[in-house]
Structure 1
């Protein structure tokens, strides 16, 4: 386990986090209580993630966002009041975020994430990036990987959402398993020895380790290789859609906008063709239907993806239960929502 200063849980905190302590134990809550998290991007997804982390009881949460509150952002972002339009989005979110849990230190930073020096990111135990460019995510992920800092990336585009996590080459955690009771060696109940049985009333904690690739490796898969070709059929199409949307953000400096739907739709088609051709894949892999469903942040999708993302951050910081490796994709068009997992390693 990661060696950190052992935080003290006060009686007030024990009462506040009673349900969580019963769920995952006091040691896990202590590790969570001693963790500082950076959250970049206070859109709809960022607001959901901030809520989940604050209620879970991290030590501190820094909200980093240089954008201003707009009419559109108010629709998906519940931490900013409607009267805050034109104000900085991180600062406008601070009061409601802090009110969720006064025991958590919540700070607002109005600077651009791209302008922050490397040392800024190294003061946190986990860094969560939403609404960020591909270049920034790759830069921060590589930096944090070198210093054993956990990295999470996520976004919501209309009906679509994704999450990526990199917990390092060796992430240690524990899982609770039902205890197996072995038969006694001197059993005389028949010629055959008794089989081991599972005791439903007793559990044991099992230590495990997982390995993660970094974001650059996950995005730069060589799809012309035999190994990648063999895995193509089980790779969700959302993985390739993510490449298209990140390229759109890189080229335009924003996400697809409903106000320029016609022009952005044509650009999305062109980017789709260019991205898949560069990968050596057919453009038929991603049909034109995706265009109608990737505009704006939708509150229900933010809630689902934010819930999964928040849960993964909590699991990683508390070192309790198996994490996802490495991608989580959500498609709200598929009935009650279809979840796909993809790990390039």
Structure 2
């Protein structure tokens, strides 16, 4: 795959607001990142939009889907495909989504090295050498769990993080696999005002045996106090997060997972509402037998839902570059009940 050399210098004026939020070093990492996004559906569109606006340096979009020109209303959440573009083409011919979207994506961020592929999606996704070109892989609109599991095994083999996400009507989920990742939590304390808390922190550090298990997939590796020049004492905690592959996750999802992480009232509400069970059913069909609602919602994407999930995914990716904690490891949005759940499986 040919590569275009992009600027390695961050445009400080352009990204001033973002640099204030997460720092120049993180913005530099964003610029140098190489991300593969699979399928430019409604959710894929939101993800690419947020990546472009963040200042990402390299994006490759893989999508072989054709669009039905005569039914442009089905693309109301595809703002990279304009009605003005579609009105000028021969409606008797077949076109790919990327035939129209490529130019509009480039217009949103001309600084980004954008590449598109419109053929052999599955073949490329199962090609280890192709995947090695990227720092991150994001898949959308792939409902074949067996294929997704194969892709995940490849990304784990070459140590590349993977997001798998879907959106079905009012339901949506994001699966996250960073394989194994460290995160750092800094808590500043005033050296004069917080003396009692600083003493307690010292005692905790002395008595704690590291690494310490803090959750199912997370260990506290170390904890230390650091004196800063500004009169504060930083409590610096380092965590190690271990993620499980997609194939293992879908096999382990059951009612016990829900009950172990929520109280009885919350579990009952989650398992009896109208959206979450269908997401879980899609992931593990043995969990819920009835999937009538899910079948009706397949292929239906609502702009408000995809906007929330697209922003959540890109923010999580940026957090990973900043050594902050990332989603662990299944995020489910139930828009009907205004709930966003994180299941650690």
- Decide: shared fold, TM above 0.5: yes
Residue 214 of structure 1 aligns with which residue? 245
What CA distance in whole angstroms lies between the structure 2 residues aligned with 1:112 and 1:242?
28
- Relative distance call for 1:64 and 1:182 in structure 2 (3 A) is same
User: Runs of at least 4 residues of structure 1 off by over 3 A?
Assistant: 83-86, 173-176, 193-208, 226-240, 243-247, 286-295
Give how far 1:246 is off.
Answer: 6.0
Which one has a larger percent strand, Structure 1 or Structure 2? 2
Q: Distance in 2 between matches of 1:227 and 1:305?
A: 23
2:183 pairs with 1:178: no
Deviation at 1:209, TM superposition (A): 2.6
How far has the Cα of 1:173 moved from its partner? 3.2
Kept in 2, the 8 Å contact 1:183–1:195? The answer is no
TM-score relative to the length of structure 1: 0.73
Q: Would the alpha carbon gap of residues 142 and 51 (structure 1) be closer, same or farther in structure 2, given more than 3 Å must change?
A: same
Map residues 180-195 of structure 1 onto 2, 5 A cutoff.
Answer: 181=191, 194-195=196-197
Q: What is the CA deviation profile of residues 165-217 of structure 1, one whole-angstrom value per residue up to 9, with x for unaligned ones?
A: 1001x212333422353789xxxxxxxx8553999995856543321111111
Equivalent pairs, count: 291
Measure the CA separation in 1 of the matches of 2:121 and 2:188.
45
Provide the rounded CA distance (Å) in 2 between the counterparts of 1:99 and 1:203. 46
Give the Cα–Cα distance (whole angstroms) in 2 for the partners of residues 129 and 287 of structure 1.
23
Q: Where do 5+ consecutive residues of structure 1 fail to align?
A: 1-6, 185-192, 248-274
Using the size of structure 2 for normalisation, the TM-score is 0.73
Offset of residue 136 of structure 1: 2.4
Identify the residue that residue 121 of structure 2 maps to in structure 1: 113
1:123 aligns with 2:133: yes
Match of 1:196 among 188, 195, 198: 198
Label 1:220 to 1:239 Cα distance change in 2 as closer, same or farther (>3 A).
Answer: farther
Offset of 1:96 from its aligned partner?
A: 1.3
CA distance in 1, matches of 2:308, 2:135: 24
Task: Tell me, yes or no, if structure 1 residue 79 matches structure 2 residue 89.
Answer: no
Instruction: Give the aligned CA root-mean-square deviation in angstroms.
Output: 3.4
Residue 61 of structure 2: aligned partner? 63
Equivalent residue of 1:220, what SS?
Answer: helix
**Inter-CA distance 22–289: structure 2 relative to 1 (3 Å threshold):** same
Confirm or deny that 1:332 pairs with 2:330: no
